[in-house]
Amino acid sequence: MLTGVQAVLFAIGAGLGVHRTPTGVLFRRVVRPRLAAPDHLEDPAPPRFAQAVGLVFAVVATIGFATGAVLLGQVFAALAFVAAFLNAVFAFCLGCEMYLLGLRLTRGPAQR
């Protein structure tokens, strides 16, 4: 059930952008007005890709739990948890880094 709710939140972030998630709205309305204006804004593509990766993990975990494949659900929920932990504790967005690595690998040598 909880992984299903998280899947919906990831779907909002992947489809509409992170700023439209409940936490994004809360940040924009409550926290951001209390902060100084940022020097620059982040490209929204890497965080949206990260949300899509989280969506895949949450959907697979939800399907695993719903069909009785509990180990599958636990593994994919744990993968999503590890990625969230890395982001929360070390400010390391695994999905964002995967996006940037994909860009580097798909560009030709002249574009690097």
Is residue 95 a contact partner of residue 54, using CB atoms and an 8 Å limit? yes
SS3 44: coil
What is this structure's pTM? 0.85
What mean pLDDT comes out for the span 57-72?
97
With cut-offs at 50, 70 and 90, classify the pLDDT of residue 112. Answer: low
What mean pLDDT comes out for the span 3-15?
95
CA separation for the pair 37, 95 (Å, rounded): 26
What mean pLDDT comes out for the span 39-57?
94
With cut-offs at 50, 70 and 90, classify the pLDDT of residue 111. Answer: low
Higher pLDDT, 1 or 100: 100
DSSP 56-96: HHHHHHHHHHHHT-HHHHHHHHHHHHHHHHHHHHH---HHH
Half-sphere exposure for 23 (CA within 13 Å, toward CB): 5
